Amino acid sequence: MKDWQSTVSAVLGALCLVLAIAVISTGKTTQRLQNELQRQQGEINNGLLSQRGQQLGNSILQDMVSVSARNTKMHKLLGDNGYNIQFQQPTTPAAAATDKNNKVTP
């Protein structure tokens, strides 16, 4: 092998080594950033699930209160679990059909 050929081979070998180190470094940085994004996405998803759960829980509780107006067992169940339900009496028969002023106090 001639002198210039060995020099070119050494330079190309060093260049390959430098590029390999750069690829490994970039890959590790990318993986770290992906892990951070996954963690943040998990926190966002947990927050959304918690918010949806609260909305669902409130809807279920309101349905239970509506049922408790006609069902004494449901009214007792809610009372036993710390919900003090007070129904306001309508002043006229027409208001009885549209009364939505039931109060729930936890």
Terminal Cα distance for the chain, rounded = 90
pLDDT digits (tens, 9 = 90+) for 40-88: 998 888 877 777 778 888 888 888 888 888 888 888 888 888 888 877 7
pLDDT band per the 50, 70, 90 thresholds, residue 22: very high
Nearest 10 degrees: CA dihedral of 53, 69, 77, 48? 0
Q: Residue 94 above 70 pLDDT? A: no
Question: Which pLDDT belongs to residue 6?
Answer: 92
